[in-house]
Amino acid sequence: MAVINQDAHGGAAEQSRPIGVFDSGIGGLTVVSALRTLLPNESIFYLGDTARVPYGGKSAATVQRYSLEIAAMLLSENAKTVVVACNTASAVALSQLTATLPVTVTGVIQPGAQAAIAVTRNGHVGVIGTRATINSGAYERALRSLDPKVRVSARACPLLVPLIEEGWLQTAITDEIIMQYVSPLVNDGIDTLVLGCTHYPLLREAMARLLGDRITLVDSAQNCANAVRELLLRENLCAAGPDAGRLQVALTDQPDNFLRVAREALQLDVGDVQVRE
């Protein structure tokens, strides 16, 4: 495990260091986009483990090992804090990362759960995500730790990520599949839906159109960015000065078509993408 030299807490050198963000692939760029909007003067180093994507079908022990390896690469880039922009890694590796890394760590699950509890009107929250995230029960635990009386209806949506990576964000077939997955949750009485995968914010517009005002959508990417901003303020780690921060993107394998899809959908200027072994 790489260890970095820490500056004096809250010092200018420490504040200017980048936020390190990682995901199993490219979906975590939704978190980067939210961070860029919310914290435009922060530099960000994003690392997508595209050589080993997806994490969803791997064992918990394997995801923990991969997460520690990728986080060590972020520390070698002098990251001042680490953001786990992956629901699977947040579900099974966050506690190990928090215990191991010499910097603070933020996942996507707790911020999403907090936002859902804050906005639900009838106390019935729906969660959609990959099979690994849903099977982990991490969202149910997070929601019930905040409100033991909350009702949770969760559903795995394995076809959504391939559709998003294909760039089919606003098509009739995508609409139909969204409703196949989400209609049972709506019929069950949810009033709030957590988008429990960092790919899913790319379908937020379609879901809002299909579900209308009756369902409040909770975007895990946006709420993770809010949590990072609060953390930086609390720890006196906010970058000083008005200059726009730098965004660097690195992947562990050559980028595929989804990088283009994400870049265009999120209007992100990712520059030259580095490949890291």
**Which residue numbers are catalytic?**
86, 197
- Whole-number Å distance between alpha carbons of 68 and 45: 16
Give the C-alpha distances (Å, rounded to integers) separating 71 from 97, 125, 182, 196, 246: 8, 31, 34, 21, 19
CATH class for the region spanning 110-221: alpha beta
In the chain, where the domains are located = 12-107+223-275, 110-221
- Whole-number Å distance between alpha carbons of 154 and 195: 11
- Amino acid found at 24: S
CA-nearest of 21, 23, 26, 71 to 255 is: 26
CATH class for the region spanning 12-107+223-275: alpha beta
Give the other-Cβ count within 10 Å of 57's Cβ.
11
Mean pLDDT, each 10-residue run in order, the chain (277 residues): 42 86 95 96 96 88 96 97 96 96 97 97 96 93 98 96 93 98 98 96 96 95 96 94 88 90 90 90
What per-residue confidence (pLDDT) applies to 56? 83
Q: CB within 8 A of 129, min separation 6: which ones?
A: 87, 139, 154, 156, 157, 196, 197, 200
Give the C-alpha distances (Å, rounded to integers) separating 115 from 134, 165, 193, 221, 246: 18, 26, 11, 11, 28
